[in-house]
Amino acid sequence: MSDERKQYIAKYKNLFWYTPESKKEEISDSLLVETILNYGDMEAVTRLFQWMGIKNAAKIFFDSINQSERRKNNYYPEIYNFFNLVFKRYAQGNS
């Protein structure tokens, strides 16, 4: 795990309250993106896009929601709708 990722998770560790400290370094990219988009504030989302890249975050988001309806339902409906639109416009090049 990169130092940048470790620092990011440490900064927002309160959002991962259900994950034991010893397991925080094992958080998957899909869980990280899902948790930040659902529960993070604008600063957390912006910082996620800065170090992960909006295109990479979008890929993780779309890969996750396309796996199953259950995975899609892990996102709050308004969060799913908002980031679906944002990622389609800014990360996939569609205008």
Per-residue pLDDT at 93: 61
pLDDT digits (tens, 9 = 90+) for 59-72: 999 999 999 888 88
pLDDT greater at residue 50 or residue 71: 50
Q: Do the beta carbons of residue 11 and residue 53 sit within 8 Å? A: no
Tell me what the pLDDT averaged over the chain comes to.
92
Report the run of H or E that residue 83 belongs to, with start and end.
Answer: helix 77-90
Q: What is the DSSP string of 1-55?
A: --HHHHHHHHHTGGGGTTS-GGGGGG--HHHHHHHHHHH--HHHHHHHHHHH-HH
Q: pTM to 2 decimals?
A: 0.90
Distance CA 91, CA 81 (A): 15
pLDDT at 71: 87
